[in-house]
Chain A
């Protein structure tokens, strides 16, 4: 019923909101809150219902019992009065006195149309006319609940036609009222406790009901974060089983698909290696006879040699990156002096003459890295500077900038004299094959392709960071910085 009353305004409100100002859309109540509310309301209604019934029942029982007792007492007293009146006394006063002696509180006699009361407070004026009429005129025994100065009383009237009299008796009902009041209080208290219990139960139930959803959300998050083997725990609960099973099926399908994609890239690269081997070896044989060739064949051979090398690099990069995707990389870490390592890495790069500056403190820094993988990072950065940064790269090794603190990181940077990287492209440049999107203006078509993406993957695998910024000396050009954990040692 409540719904029927409330629903139309809510709908029209929503409709109005939809038309006019969408941002005032009311916040939807969450599942947990709803379950909690349902439990609370249920227990509240239940306790009110039980309390009302209990109260009504108790009340009627108590009142009836009391009523019957008073009426019985009144008949007994009327019998006493009748016996006395049979003697036809001139007045009813001795009868009343006799009754008072017996402990009857508030007797009242109408004897030969004269009222005689046991107490001044409960005289004939206290009796409602209706009752008087029924007893005196109709001659029917009657009773009625009246209130005299705030006190609830039961008046019982018994006609005594034998002696031409009527006996009335007042009896207090206030003890019943106070009993009922305390019963009511106890019931209210019990109702409150029950409702509170409902709240607690609702909270527990809602948490239990929502927990599988929370688990599912967490699992979904883990899967999105790359842990594809995450599964929901299987359960006996037939309702939850459905959720868990379909979630796990989805996760398996996703995992298979991702793995298939990763394997495809890896398989392709593997397949490319055999023809590439033949190409590389054959080209080398031809190159040894370059001088015997006509000029045009020489030019073609040079192109061939260049691109076979490039192809080889690309396939190696693809293989490496598919290894990253498959999570199959195992680092062979060892402690290396940073400066010595960078010197050696530059020595085997495509520009071994690249100048290297090392700060005094950085000479004593040691890092725990995979030597051959990190050498490729340096080589890739130098290649990048050579191809896209106008050549003449410079390398710098320095301690990370955290004043006062002990050195925790080393910065290995490679800077160039190119046009630099605009701010909004700096995060894109480490994407795979970002060349098309980002480096339209980065001059050479000689592909960076995967170079910087590999730098990023390698450095992150080592627990470090890589970013690009402007040269520190204000000249045009980009500065690529690798930040790696390092320790200072005494030499």
Chain B
């Protein structure tokens, strides 16, 4: 079965054009014109990637995103009006993995989707188990436990954690994380890393305000330690 993509967008013309462009990439595209329709379709079609426009009638994009996150770790791409508003951070906090600003070129969108799909694939073999104090990461199985309890991470969060865990103690700059996890170049948005680190901490740390494992190294980046 090929890759399935769900696009949620209330403007029918845009939806159709994006669908045409994405189908050219060889993907199957399902369309939803509202949040309610999207929730219904999501459970029936179980897509691999969801594309959500924040400006939706009824349930808005943030709400839809939070709803999907309750039950699923599916990669979500947000479409926002502007890159410098709170929308981006709010969208990422609601659970989106990446974002695009209108108007974007479909090529850009397919590049982002490909990067997200790549993230799902298993990591390089060799490390069967990474241990950081009470944290245990099993990359091949996509499993993380803290004190023996399994944690539910999204695919991007998991990928970020493994990236940090593969070189214990090493400091990763935002740029290198953007490159490795999201496939962005030098000009990627550092907020992607910051918000995901924040979300990761609320899951893997017992006290997210005073992180013990995912530590900020001021001016340089982030590090994973036991």
Contact = CB atoms under 8 A, between A and B. Distances in A.
A278 B187 contact: no
Contact of A371 (B103, B187, B219): B187
Contact of A285 (B24, B185, B186): B24
B107 interface: yes
Given A323-B84, A329-B84, A344-B185, A284 B13 contact: no
A334 B186 contact: no
B187 A284 contact: no
Interface size class of A (residues with CB under 8 A): 20 to 34
Interface stretch (B15-23, B32-40, B113-121): B15-23
A480 to B, nearest CB: 21
Given A323-B84, A372-B187, A276 B21 contact: no
Contacts of A22: none
Contacts of B105: 280, 284, 312
Contacts of A372: 187, 189
Most chain A beta carbons < 10 A, residue from B14, B18, B102, B103: B103
Contacts of B16: 278
B21 to A, nearest CB: 5
Contacts of A209: none
Interface of B: 11, 13-14, 16-18, 20-21, 24, 81-82, 84, 102-107, 185-187, 189-191, 219
A432 to B, nearest CB: 20
A312 B188 CA distance: 20
10 contacts: A273-B81, A273-B102, A275-B13, A280-B105, A281-B18, A282-B17, A284-B24, A284-B105, A332-B190, A335-B219
A312 B104 CA distance: 9
A121 interface: no
B14 A281 contact: yes
A278 B14 contact: yes
Contact of A277 (B103, B186, B191): B103
B185 A280 contact: no
A277 to B, nearest CB: 4
A371 B18 CA distance: 30
Nearest to B81: A270
A344 B14 CA distance: 33
Contacts of A315: 103
A328 B18 CA distance: 30
Given A274-B103, A315-B103, A323-B82, 17 more contacts: A277-B18, A278-B11, A281-B14, A281-B17, A284-B24, A284-B105, A284-B106, A285-B106, A288-B24, A332-B190, A332-B191, A335-B219, A347-B186, A348-B185, A348-B187, A371-B186, A371-B187
Interface string A256-284: 00000000000000100111111111101
Nearest to A341: B186
A278 B20 contact: no
Contacts of A347: 185-186
A252 B105 CA distance: 41
B185 A277 contact: no
A28 interface: no
A280 B106 contact: yes
Contacts of B187: 344-345, 348, 371-372, 375
Contacts of A23: none
A281 B21 CA distance: 6
Contact of A282 (B20, B102, B186, B190): B20
Contacts of B189: 372
A279 B20 CA distance: 12
A347 B187 CA distance: 11
Given A277-B102, A277-B104, A372-B189, A285 B17 contact: yes
A284 B219 CA distance: 41
Contacts of A288: 24
B191 to A, nearest CB: 8
A281 to B, nearest CB: 3
Contacts of B14: 274, 277-278, 281
B209 to A, nearest CB: 23
Interface string A116-129: 00000000000000
Contact of A284 (B21, B185, B190): B21
A101 interface: no
Contact of B20 (A274, A285, A328, A371): A285
Contacts of B107: 284
Contacts of A375: 187
Most chain A beta carbons < 10 A, residue from B16, B21, B81: B21
A375 B184 CA distance: 15
Given A288-B24, A344-B186, A281 B106 contact: yes
B1 to A, nearest CB: 23
A330 interface: yes
Contacts of B24: 284-285, 288
A264 B187 CA distance: 30
A345 B187 CA distance: 8
Nearest to A334: B190
Contacts of A371: 186-187
B185 A330 contact: no
Interface string A350-390: 00000000000000000000011001000000000000000
Contacts of B17: 277-282, 285
A300 B18 CA distance: 22
Contacts of A330: 84
A454 B180 CA distance: 32
A372 B189 CA distance: 8
Nearest to A343: B186
Most chain A beta carbons < 10 A, residue from B11, B17, B81, B189: B17
Contacts of B102: 273-274, 277
A280 B103 contact: yes
A232 B1 CA distance: 70
B84 to A, nearest CB: 6
